[in-house]
Amino acid sequence: MKKNAKGLEERRHRIGYLKKFVKPGKIVEFGCGKGLVLEFLSTNFPKSLIIGIDKSQARLEELAKKRLKNVIPILVDITNPIFLNKSFDTALFIASLHEIFSCQGKRKVEESFRIAHNVLKDNGTLIVQDFLKPLPKLVEMGFRNITTHKRFLRFAAEFKARKVRFQKTTNRVRLDIAGALEFISKYRSPDEADWQEEMNETHFFFTKKDYETVAKKTGFTIINSLKLAKDKDWWSDIRKDIEFEAEYQWLQLVLKKTKGR
């Protein structure tokens, strides 16, 4: 998880898009981390009962320090079904599916959708926000300083999720857009432990079609699908180090559990 101020601002902005789709009542966030989304939900839906699930004790301890009144944290793996069927009005996966994909594989992503489907009441809402893999395309990326260039070479050597193939020119590289975006989303890792974690994680794992296919296969109807671009401030900060034309996007999918499925 990114800890710099621009990154945090950007995440808060993106979380704002959830508001009009959340059905109040009983809400569960799968993969809540330190509780940025839960803070938002707790403030905007004060009468709801909100459960946050995460497998990281350290992150849940950070969440506990926030003392959110209507929030209950539970330390468990998302892929363990622990709730009764049809008990929630809204379920959310916010920036957690790419981690499930990276550590546990595509099958567990599908299983997570099924678990969310089971725990939702009929007509309940599932909201997904995560990175959006672009269609394959060769792009060029330039480096404005040696530190960033060296960081890229380290990334290409150490990224374990898949091989990063690139061609070198002076001060520039040519590579597939997903590799470029992986680098851009990771190169400001604040410390070595975070860097090591990021080297095992792929962010750009599913295209829009991949998300929609899993959603339909697991019994959801798509209500709303929105591409969320990273904001201009975030990009202008990145462009101090990197010359790069494309933008990178997130997907917000709002899904409904159809009655009887």
Ligand X SMILES: C[S@@+](CC[C@H](N)C(=O)[O-])C[C@H]1O[C@@H](n2cnc3c(N)ncnc32)[C@H](O)[C@@H]1O
Provide the binding-site residues for ligand X, judged by CB under 6 A: 1, 31-33, 36-37, 53-56, 59, 77-79, 94-96, 99-100
Q: Which is nearer to ligand X, 54 or 89 (CB)?
A: 54
Q: Which is nearer to ligand X, 157 or 193 (CB)?
A: 193
Q: Which is nearer to ligand X, 55 or 154 (CB)?
A: 55
Could you tell me how far CA 145 lies from the centroid of its own chain? 29
Q: How far is it, in rounded angstroms, from Cα 126 to Cα 255? A: 5
Residues 6+ apart with CB under 8 A from 80: none
Cα-Cα-Cα-Cα torsion 216, 49, 56, 180, nearest 10 degrees, comes to 50
- Minimum Å gap between C-beta 156 and ligand X is 23
Closest CA to 75 of 53, 51, 103: 53
DSSP label of 33? T
Per-residue burial over 30-69, b = 16 or more CB atoms within 10 Å of its CB, e = otherwise: bbbbbbbbbbbbbeebeebebbbbbbeeebbeebeeeebe
Q: Which is nearer to ligand X, 143 or 204 (CB)?
A: 204
Q: Which is nearer to ligand X, 109 or 175 (CB)?
A: 109
Q: How far is it, in rounded angstroms, from Cα 106 to Cα 113? A: 11
Q: Which is nearer to ligand X, 98 or 149 (CB)?
A: 98
- Minimum Å gap between C-beta 64 and ligand X is 14
- Minimum Å gap between C-beta 184 and ligand X is 16
Closest CA to 41 of 10, 9, 73: 73
Q: How far is it, in rounded angstroms, from Cα 149 to Cα 172? A: 8
- Minimum Å gap between C-beta 242 and ligand X is 22
- Minimum Å gap between C-beta 122 and ligand X is 26
Residues 6+ apart with CB under 8 A from 47: 24, 70
- Minimum Å gap between C-beta 138 and ligand X is 29
